[in-house]
Amino acid sequence: MTTHRERIQACLSGETPDRTPIAFWRHFPVDDQNPEVLAASTLHFQNTYDLDIVKVSPASSYAVKDWGVEDKWMGDAEGSRRYTKRVIHKPEDWEKLKPLDPTSPHLAGQLYCLRLIRKNLNPETPLIQTIFNPLAQAKYLAGNETLLAHLREYPEAVMKGLDTIAKTTTKFIESACELGVDGIFYAVQHAQASTLELNEYKSFGLPYDQKVLEATQDLWCNMLHLHGTDVYFSLLRLFNFQIVNWHDHDTYPSLSEAQNLFKGTLCGGLRRETLVFEEQAKVKEEAEDAIRQTKGQHFILGTGCVVPITAPHGNLVAATKSVKSLVEGEK
């Protein structure tokens, strides 16, 4: 039998795998506050759906809690927590940030979670860890409104903070690599026209992305997530990712357009709304359309972002069965 690793590697290299790979992920609110419970929830999810990539989805605050932020679970459908305390208020606060060591409590907790998952996950199943890029972490520290105001009024102060965040993130990735992850899921939230102009992103986002991503060069399964609408897909030319994931139903480019823009592998095709509100037949129809658009080449079936925690089990099963039924139908 083809293993998950073999299937993904065939897909990345442009070969035709035995079937279209599939990967989707979700948050585990409340469970994500304990490394052991998050590991168990992640493994249970994988054991239920048998996905080709396991993407670990901690609360976004794991990356910044050791700097003093606080957050709370308030029932968000995506499984995200709300920030209740920020630590950046004045421009000079950016310069006060000190680099964190991976032994800091919350970073160390996430590394422990990874260790548990890697130990108990089939070694032939690719494992990737969520990494929020420095600008996203800066948003969590300050709030987006404060971050954008400071970027434009006090750029030098913010850049010092971004440099600190980048150093901390690099050390965390290096520690994750030692635990045997196969790649990272690199979440970029500000590379969209409604948030920053492209030149602004190239000034405040790109340099720190490039610093952080140096630590991922030896990994073979790195996925870039471009969050939001009107994303700057052209940035892919400046990165070295094997896979890109974005809200392909909600923003340019479509899957078929993206294949002309990116030589790597695309991940998407399923609307989150479909998985939550529609019938199983609609899930299969969307999967078939995505595979048709990409001709099944360099393509992983998935969603544009996290699967809402309200998505019915039956629809997730239908998504996994859709790629297998297509193969069975061709025999």
- How much is the pLDDT for 329? 55
User: What would the pLDDT profile of 202-227 be if each residue is shown by its tens digit?
Assistant: 999 999 999 999 999 999 999 999 99
- How much is the pLDDT for 313? 98
Q: How many domains does the chain have?
A: 1
Q: State yes or no: pLDDT of 326 exceeds 80.
A: no
Calpha distance 225→240 (Å, rounded): 13
List the CATH number of the domain containing 110.
Answer: 3.20.20.210
Nearest to 268 by CA among 236, 233, 293: 293
pTM for this prediction: 0.97
Nearest to 207 by CA among 176, 238, 177: 238
Calpha distance 242→264 (Å, rounded): 5
Q: What average pLDDT does the segment 231-246 reach?
A: 97
- How much is the pLDDT for 325? 75
Which tokens hold the place of 298? 């360099």
User: What would the pLDDT profile of 77-127 be if each residue is shown by its tens digit?
Assistant: 999 999 999 999 999 999 999 999 999 999 999 999 999 999 999 999 999
Its domain, for residue 83, covers 4-330
- Whether the CB-CB separation of 198 and 237 falls below 8 Å is answered with no
Task: Label residue 331 by pLDDT band (50, 70, 90).
Answer: very low
Residue corresponding to tokens 């602004």: 200
Q: What average pLDDT does the segment 60-72 reach?
A: 98
Give me the torsion for CA of 3, 185, 170, 149, rounded to 10°: 180
Q: What average pLDDT does the segment 119-148 reach?
A: 98
Q: State yes or no: pLDDT of 328 exceeds 70.
A: no
- How much is the pLDDT for 324? 86
Calpha distance 181→129 (Å, rounded): 7
Average pLDDT, the chain: 97
Which tokens hold the place of 12? 């990345």
- Whether the CB-CB separation of 284 and 269 falls below 8 Å is answered with no
Task: Label residue 252 by pLDDT band (50, 70, 90).
Answer: very high
Q: State yes or no: pLDDT of 161 exceeds 90.
A: yes
Q: What average pLDDT does the segment 74-79 reach?
A: 97
User: 226: number of CA atoms within 13 Å, CB side?
Assistant: 30
For residue 253, whether the previous peptide bond is cis, meaning omega lies within 30 degrees of 0, is yes
Nearest to 109 by CA among 52, 47, 71, 63: 63
Write the DSSP string, 256-307: HHHTTT-SSEEEEEE-HHHHHHS-HHHHHHHHHHHHHHHTTSSEEEEESSPP
